[in-house]
Structure 1
Amino acid sequence: MDASAEHAMIAVPAGPVALSDRRTQRSWTVEVDPCLIATYPVTQALYARVTGGCPGAVRGEELPVEGVSWWDAARFCNALSEREGLAPAYLIPADGGADVTWDTSADGYRLPTEAEWEHACRAGTAGPRYGPLDEIAWHRGNSEERLHEVGGRRPNAWGFHDMLGNVWEWCWDVYDAEVYGSYRVLRGGGWFDEHWSCRASVRRRSHPTFRVDDVGFRLARSAGR
C-alpha cells in the first residue's frame, strides 16, 4: 500500500443513526453531519512514520497499529495534522491532565464520534452487519487468533474496510461519565472476538490509558474544514 492510500478518506454523507446500549437497554438517535473517515484503520507503517515508533508485539507495515491508548490516538491525530499543515483538532493539556478539548472548527485529523463510526460502518444497511461475517471481518472464527493486514476483507457499500473485526477502534466519546468516569468508547470488535461482538451496534468501553493487542483506531476529519 502506498503512503497516500494509508490514510485516504471517504466522504460520509449526513444522516440519522440509531445508537443503542445493551447494558442499559437505552437507545437514542443522532443526526450525523457530513464528515471524512479513513478507508482503513491506521497502519503500523503510518504510525511509525509520524511518531518514529511502533507499539505492540507483532510487526507488519500493513497490519493495523495496536497496543495504543486513546491518548496515543489523540496525540497521533494532532501530530499528523501538524505534519500536513492542518490545525490540530485536540487541545491536550501540557501537564498530562485528563481534560482534552475538541476544537470543532479545526481542519485536522481526529477520532470519529461513535455516531459517525456506526453511520460509516452501516453504510445504509439496517442489520447487525453490512455483509456475511467471514467475508467482511477477521474474528475469532477465521483469524487464526492473530492480526491481519488491513484491506484483506470485503469492504462495505461505501468502501470502508475492516469496520468490523481485526482491531477494536477508539472513538472520541466518553462511554458513561456518571458510571465509568473518563472511559472512552470502542467499536467494531477484534480478531479475538466471537461473532456476537463483531456487530455494528456493539459498544465496549475502556480507560483512555488502556493498551492491548486488539485495539487500534481510524482517522476522521470534519467536512468542509
Structure 2
Amino acid sequence: MAEHRKFALVPFGERTLTVGSSDPSAGPAHEVTLDAFALADRCVSAGDFHAFLREAPQDVDHTMVDCIDPAFVVHRADGFALRPGCADFPMIQISFWAAAAYCNWLSRTEGREAVYDVTARTADLDLDGYRLPTEAEWEAACRAGAPDPAACNSADASPACRALRAGELGTGAFPPGSPGPVPVGSLPADGAGLHEMLGNLREWCHDRYGPYRSAPQRNPRGAQRGAFRVVRGGSFIDPAAELGPSSRLAAFEDTKCEVYGFRVAMPR
C-alpha cells in the first residue's frame, strides 16, 4: 500500500438490516440489503489529503478547499501547505467534490478504476475504486460498531476528550477553549473497529439527499438529482443526544466547513 495511506479498511459482508427511524427526518424505517463493502477505520487526515494535493495539484483548486482559518491546510503562493503539527487531524473545509477527487487519486495509486468524474460531476459506483460510502453503508457500519454517543467528541465531550482538541493542543488556528476536532483515530474504536463514527466531524456520504422510500431496497444510492448530499455522524458542535446511526443531514455539495470531513469506502 502507498506510504501516505494512514487508515485501515474494515470489511463488512453482505447484510440485510433496517435503517432509518421513526424520526421524520430519518424515516420511514425500511429494509435494505447491501453487498459486501469496506470502510476506512477513520477519517482522511490532513496529512493524507496534503499528500494528494502535493502529488496531484491539478486535481483540486482553491475553490474546492477552504483555507481560511481554522484550516489545517492553507494556500500559499507556491501551493497548498500543511500547517505544523496538523498532519494527524482530520482534513476539514473541503467540498464533496474535493473528497471525490481524493478518492480518485487514491484509486490511481493502487491501479483501481476512478469512480468519479469530477469535471462532469458524475460517478459510477460499479467500478472497483475508492469512493465515499453510501449512507446505507455508513449506517450499517455504525450500527455494527454501536458507538456510544456519550464517549464521542460532541458539544458534551468529556474533559479527557476536550483535551485532545486542536485548540487545546495548540495546532491549527482553533482557539484554546473552543470546540474543535481531535486527531483521527485518537478516540477508542467502536465494536466494529471504527474510530469517531459519531461526533468529531460530519462525514460526506455519496448519496444525494432525498426522502426515504418504505419499500425494501438493495444497495440504495440516494436521490437521482439534486445538489445536496447526505452527511452523517454529527460533529464537535452537535449535542450528543442528537447523534446516532440513523441521524442524517443535507449539505450543499460545494460546502466547505470546519465541521465537514470524510472517510473512504470501496467494494469487496
TM-score category by the smaller chain?
0.7 to 0.9
Residue type of the partner of 1:138?
N
In structure 2, the residue matched to 1:101 is: 123
Equivalent-residue separation in structure 1 for 2:106 and 2:66 (angstroms):
17
Residue type of the partner of 1:39?
D
Equivalent-residue separation in structure 2 for 1:175 and 1:58 (angstroms):
27
SS, match of residue 25 in structure 2: coil
1:69-96 deviations in Å (ceiling 9; x for gaps): 111111111111112221111233x3xx
In structure 1, the residue matched to 2:257 is: 212
SS, match of residue 23 in structure 1: helix
Q: 1:17 to 1:149 in 2, by over 3 A?
A: same
Residue type of the partner of 2:155?
R
Structure number with bigger Rg: 2
1:146-201 deviations in Å (ceiling 9; x for gaps): 111011222111100011110010001111188x9321100001011111232111
In structure 2, the residue matched to 1:175 is: 209
Residue type of the partner of 2:186?
G
Bigger mean CA deviation after superposition, 30-39 or 3-12: 3-12
In structure 2, the residue matched to 1:75 is: 101
Give the CA deviation at 1:55: 4.8
SS, match of residue 253 in structure 2: coil
Equivalent-residue separation in structure 2 for 1:121 and 1:24 (angstroms):
15
Alignment of 1:126-165 (within 5 A): 130-135=146-151, 137-142=152-157, 143=162, 145-165=179-199
Q: Is the 8 A contact 2:26 2:247 kept in 1?
A: no
Q: Is the 8 A contact 2:149 2:241 kept in 1?
A: no
TM-score under structure 1 length normalisation: 0.85
In structure 2, the residue matched to 1:9 is: 9
SS, match of residue 47 in structure 1: helix
Equivalent-residue separation in structure 2 for 1:110 and 1:132 (angstroms):
26
Q: Is the 8 A contact 2:4 2:48 kept in 1?
A: no
In structure 2, the residue matched to 1:33 is: 35
Residue type of the partner of 1:159?
G
In structure 1, the residue matched to 2:167 is: none
Q: Which runs of 5 or more residues in structure 1 are unaligned? A: 125-129
Equivalent-residue separation in structure 1 for 2:241 and 2:252 (angstroms):
23
1:118-159 deviations in Å (ceiling 9; x for gaps): 1111116xxxxx243333x11011245111101122211110
Residue type of the partner of 1:123?
A
Q: Is the 8 A contact 1:47 1:65 kept in 2?
A: yes
Residue type of the partner of 1:141?
D
Equivalent-residue separation in structure 2 for 1:24 and 1:39 (angstroms):
24
Give the CA deviation at 1:203: 0.3
In structure 2, the residue matched to 1:127 is: none
Bigger mean CA deviation after superposition, 167-176 or 51-60: 51-60
In structure 2, the residue matched to 1:117 is: 138
Q: How many residues align?
A: 211
Q: 1:44 to 1:22 in 2, by over 3 A?
A: same
Identity value in percent? 29
Equivalent-residue separation in structure 1 for 2:99 and 2:242 (angstroms):
22
TM-score under structure 2 length normalisation: 0.72
Residue type of the partner of 1:82?
R
Equivalent-residue separation in structure 1 for 2:246 and 2:3 (angstroms):
31
Equivalent-residue separation in structure 1 for 2:41 and 2:28 (angstroms):
30
SS, match of residue 6 in structure 1: coil
SS, match of residue 237 in structure 2: coil
Give the CA deviation at 1:24: 6.8
Q: 1:109 to 1:193 in 2, by over 3 A?
A: same
